[in-house]
Structures are given as C-alpha cells and as structure tokens.
Structure 1
Amino acid sequence: MDPAGKQAVVTGGNSGLGQATVEALVAVGANVVSLDRSGTAPKGARHIVCDVTDESSVKAAVDQIEGGIHILVNSAGIGGMGPIASAEGPGDLAAFRQVIDVNLTGAVTVAAHVAHRMIGNAPSGEDEERGVIVNACSIASYEGQEGMSAYTASKAALAALTLVWARDLSRHGIRVMGVAPGFMTTPLVSGLPDDFVAELLKGAEFPKRAGRAREFADVVQFIVSTPLLNGEVIRLDAATRPPARTLWSAG
C-alpha cells in the first residue's frame, strides 16, 4: 500500500516509537492521527486525546476521524517489572493487570474499532488492499526475562494474535503484521542506569547499540508498502537473545 494520501492512526503517537512512526508517515504524505492520552502530536499530524484502556474513549476517538482509515500502528505501551511471587507474598496483581490493560487489551480495543472502519474502505492498488495493521511487539514476546511476567504476557499475546487477526481480516483485504524491537532508545527506558543498559546490550550480536525509534518507523513503512508481508512478526533486535536475568534484576 502506498501511504501517500492514506489516513493512518498511531496509538502512543506523541512519544517514543509512536512519535517516530507518525513523523515517518507524515513525511511520505500520509494523513496521520495520533491517539494519545497527553502530549503534542508531531508537526503535520492531528492529536486526539484517547485512553486505550477505555473502550468508550477509543470509540469516541475513532468516531472523530472522518473518512477511511487505512493504516493502524498499535504502539501505545507501558513497562512493568516484578516477580509473580516472592517469599514475602504474591506478586502485585494490580500492576500486572495495568500492563495487560494498556499493552494488550488497549491494542485489541483499538484494532477492533479501526478494523471495522477499514472493512468499509474501497480497495486500493493491484492487490485491492483495504488496510494494514502493525502491532508493536517485543523480543520479550519470545524471551521474557526474570520479573517481566506482565510485559511478556502482553507482548507475547500481541505476537500470537498477529496471525489470528491476519486470518480474521484477510477476506476483507486487510493485512496484519508485528514488529518486535529489542532494547530501543525511548522515553520508556530513559531512566535506566547506564550500567544496566550496557549489560542489556551485551546480548546483541551486531550492532552492539540500542535501537533507534526511526529504525522501528522504517520497518513499519516497509511493511505498509510491501503487500506480501502478512501474518508475521519481524524482529528488530540486532540478533539479541536476552539472558534469563541480569545482575540488576538479581540484586
């Protein structure tokens, strides 16, 4: 699908991976709407305040978008660390539910409402596409580290849903893909100690550095413009395979 002139929705589009994706899509001529709880949309994009954990907020936001929606990038997300249980007691289940609500249920809710709108689009291009959905997964979808129960559960579920949604929506000419980044330089990890970051990057084969948000956006653009990509998750992690735990988590 050629994104020029198409309408795109990016959740969490005012910061991090979402912001870079909004900027990249605007640069190639897409009309972009950022769904975010706060902040300011990048230049050239429209911001609609939206809480992805609240279906009424999602429905109201999608209803404000006029015309067809052709591209959806689910990049809104939060982190979270904590064991499932310890000698002191059960893990923090309220914190677990919060991560699931944002990262998984939020993405499901937005996808449900936006995909419904996509089905009504006129077919586009020689393959008669109606839409493309891209989910921000994670290498934690595959190799979650100690203490990452909630985050891993949310991202593993998104990765698993990629093929299911592709099968649900293929009859309507809608593709679904995922991108699984490794450690990326974003506000989500901006407060981590330098020693911790260095330890995390030891597992990267090449290049041994944090990923850049624009690299995530570049992969999203490649997915959007390549019709044969469907039902799969692309790892973006410099061949990183995280260890079971780090010295920081063990301490």
Structure 2
Amino acid sequence: MSQENTLEKLSKDRRFGTDGIRGPIETTMNPLFIAKLAWSAGRVLKEEGIASSILIGKDTRISGYMLESALQAGFISSGMNVILLGPLPTPAVAYLAKSNNKAGVVISASHNSFEDNGLKFFNKDGYKISSSIEKKIEQKYSQPIKVVEAINLGKAERLSDAKGRYIEFCKSSTPNLDLSGVSLVLDCANGSAYAVAPKIFSEMGAKVIPIAVEPDGININEKCGSTNPQLLQETVLSTKST
C-alpha cells in the first residue's frame, strides 16, 4: 500500500469533534496521521493569515513525546515555526498563545487513561479554532503533502520560562486572594498541572498538600483525578484540610 493510501486509511473517521481530536494511540492518534494533520493545519493557519508560529504543549502521557515530535515535523514541513512548552495545563497553552500572539495546540486526552491522547488547537486570541477552520484543515488533509522549499521551512525552539509565566498570570488574576492559614489538598492526577498548581497555591499563602504529583507517563488519572476522587477525599479527612 502506498504512503498516500496508508494516510487516507488512517484519516478515515478521524475528524474534529466538539473538543478537538481524541482517541487511542494505536489507531486514531497514529504518528503518520498526526504529522500530516500538522502539515495540513500549518498550511491552513498560514494561508488564512491566522498565524505563522504555533506553541505546542502537552500533558504527561508517555505518548506525548511521540506526538510532539510528529507535530513538530509536520508544522515545520508546512513552513510554520514551532515553540515547545513541555508539560502544561490546557489553559496555560491558551494563555500563552494569546499573550505571545501565536497559535497553539495542546496534546492531551483530559481524564482518559494513558492509552489515549488527543489534540486541541487554539487561535492566537487563546480561543479554540473555529469549526470553519477545522473544516478547512480536514479538506487540506485530503491533499498530498507538499513540503515547502528548504528556505521556507519552519524552525523550532523551546520557551524555557513557560511554567513561570503561567504561574505569574494565575497569581495576578486574583491579586486580593490571600490563602494564608488554608490547608489545601491538591490532586494533580499525575498530569500536566503537577509542576505548576502546587507552586501557584503555595505562593498565594496556602499550606499545600500535593498528591498524585509523580507522573511516569502511564499513571495519569490512575486512582486519582476527577473520575477517581477517593484519594483526595481520604487525604482531606486524614489531614483535616480543605
């Protein structure tokens, strides 16, 4: 089977839903599909005058490394510049997209188990891309990949202070909130907030008791997180916290 036929087969039933694209790594989120999707998105974002650079953030799933690399290759081949953020919550990617006047994409499957992953795209205003742009990306995907001339290839860099910028933004959003004297249990679900959430609340004065802050790539949402509140409940009771 030719590469184009393979890509056509991979793209079947892979369309933007109400919250981006999401599915199992072994099938839906195959790196071949992701690389071509990034090329398609990059071409549309540039042709529509939306952005010429894109931020890439991710959660802590082990597949994030693979999808980050596939996205990077696809965007660069389309002429888009890439800025890597590392593990960050989805709202952080939206905020950094807006504050840097660039598009953004986050690699995450929210509360799903580690076997799944997904993508969500943002405009440079920090909001999800419109359904009309999603449709144009799907239409572009049906075309053969045509890598831009070498002189027009995108470049990649890393935003080293991404976490610090988001922490300061969160604190500045509630300048009069003083959490001094508050004992606060934070369930970070071994996910993307593990490095920023405890710092945000501790710097606002709270005594933070963080749980599920040791991600290993496969333990995201495992016996923790929004669908498994038992550990949070037990820790709140045992520490007499909030």
- Establish whether TM, by shorter chain, passes 0.5: no
TM-score relative to the length of structure 2: 0.29
TM-score relative to the length of structure 1: 0.28
